[in-house]
Amino acid sequence: MARRPQRRGNGQRAQRRVRDLDNEGIIPVLARAVREVEGAAQRGAVPPSARTKFQVVALLVREERARVKADTEASESQRAEQLKRLDGIATILAKTATRDTTLLHLLAEDAEIGDAAEDLRREMKKRAGLEVPDEPEVDEDDPDAPVIEKRVVPQSVIARRLANPFLVPDFTGAAAQNARPRRLAGWELLGPLFRSFEYGGASACMPLPEPGSLVAASGRELMKHQSQVVEAAAQGAQIVLGASWETYDEGIERARGVMTDEFAETYLATKEDVREDFVDQRTEVEVRVLGQAVTRATGSTVQALLFLNQYVTKKGAQTSFSEYRALVTVVDTPDGWLIDQIDTQ
């Protein structure tokens, strides 16, 4: 009877050790930071400090995910638990980006990382107890030391430069624009337009399409004919990413109808490799689109960001659920808007 309190004490100490391990490392720091960014997005426009924190959290999540996957000392259960917590942080980042789609530009590979982001990155690593290399000191008296250019020019200096009315125009800073062929290049449109109003009368006019509910990256709402392109990308992604073992071949043929020939070659090769296991295990894959937004668009190409839920059912197993996102590129062809590429993340 005297030993039982001692066993409860040992169990309580073990629980405290588990809780202490959960609060160690970079993941708790990232969890607190992403909640702060989420709260700022819910209150309205995301301030610059929260945007910087959003970018730094995304960078550190990528680094930590790569480190956890390469860690050979941790057990499979420990790696799975850490990856699950990182996926939760990434999900909050994705939901925050849907509130302010301008945050998506901070996730691009060529996104610029400013000095404030680097300082916050070092601070969060130190807060997590990680080793941060010291910044190299620059000797100001060394003539061979690199010259650090000032990145910020005061507005008063810019106004003073432009105050001279006889200032010679400087075109060196203008971005070079490559001329691209357009479908209507060289067409004389004014003559046919004027004649249509002259002879067509009321039949030459039509009301504008009603605005849709989709929002572009610039914050402007898409019109109905524009939102149809994004809807085609969403419906096509559900067809391409979903599959059933009972109608495997029919699903492939249906998916080929919504994609280009180049993408169909890669798609068919992948489907042939997994056909046998897919049918033997009686696999059912259902994909549902939760949200969609436009990240980039031209006259003939549209890239849409889709947030997806995937449900996978196999013989003798319970249905598994996962969340992920996909960048779907659709192009304008004579057969309509077809999927040319799908990148899942």
Cα–Cα dist 226/224, whole Å: 5
Whether 276 and 67 have beta carbons less than 8 Å apart is answered as: no
Domain boundary among 127, 154, 177: 127
What is the Cα–Cα distance from 63 to 130, expressed in whole angstroms?
13
- Is 198 a member of any domain? no
142 lies in some domain: no
Task: Tell me: pLDDT of 2 over 70.
Answer: no
| More confident: 212 or 269 | 269
Backbone angles phi, psi at 149, to 5 degrees: -80, 145
Does some domain include residue 207? no
Range of the domain at 17: 11-127
Q: Which residues pair with 328 in a beta bridge?
A: 304, 342
Q: What is the mean pLDDT of residues 103-124?
A: 83
Indicate the number of domains in the chain: 2
- 3-state SS, residue 301: strand
Query: What is the model's pLDDT at position 139?
Result: 57
Mean confidence (pLDDT) of the chain? 77
Give residue 26's pLDDT band: very low, low, confident or very high (50, 70, 90).
confident
In angstroms, the CA 242 to CA 236 distance is 10
Average pLDDT (303-326) is 86
**Does residue 101 or residue 205 have the better pLDDT?**
101
Grade residue 46 by pLDDT with cuts at 50, 70 and 90: confident
Alpha-carbon span 93 to 16, nearest angstrom: 30
The predicted pLDDT at position 204 comes to 57
Confidence of residue 211 (pLDDT cuts 50, 70, 90): very low
In this structure, are 112 and 220 located in the same domain?
no
Contacts within 8 Å (CB) and 24+ apart, 213-219: 214/292, 214/293, 214/294, 215/101, 215/293, 215/294, 216/101, 216/293, 216/294, 216/297, 217/101, 217/102, 217/104, 217/105, 217/293, 217/294, 217/295, 217/296, 219/101, 219/102
Residues 343 and 345: their CA atoms lie apart, in Å, by: 7
- Residue 136: what pLDDT? 60
Q: What's the CA gap between 54 and 57, in Å, rounded?
A: 5
Q: Specify if 226 maps to a domain.
A: yes
pLDDT, tens only, 61-83: 888 888 888 888 888 888 888 88
pTM check: above 0.85 = no
In a domain, 177, yes or no: no
Helix (H) or strand (E) holding 153: none
Which of 82, 109, 127 represents a domain boundary (last residue)? 127
pLDDT of residue 270: 85
CATH number at residue 300: 3.10.450.230
Helix (H, G, I), strand (E, B) or coil at 133: coil
Q: What percent of the chain has pLDDT over 70?
A: 71
Highest mean pLDDT of the ranges 95-109, 223-237, 241-255: 241-255
Range scoring the smallest mean pLDDT among 44-48, 94-98, 178-182 = 178-182
Domain boundary residue among 112, 127, 142? 127
Residue 117: band (very low, low, confident or very high) from pLDDT cuts 50, 70, 90: confident
Interval 128-182: pLDDT, tens: 777 777 666 655 556 666 655 556 777 777 777 777 666 666 777 666 667 665 5
| The CA-based dihedral angle spanning residues 206, 207, 213, 218, taken in that order and rounded to the nearest 10 degrees | 80
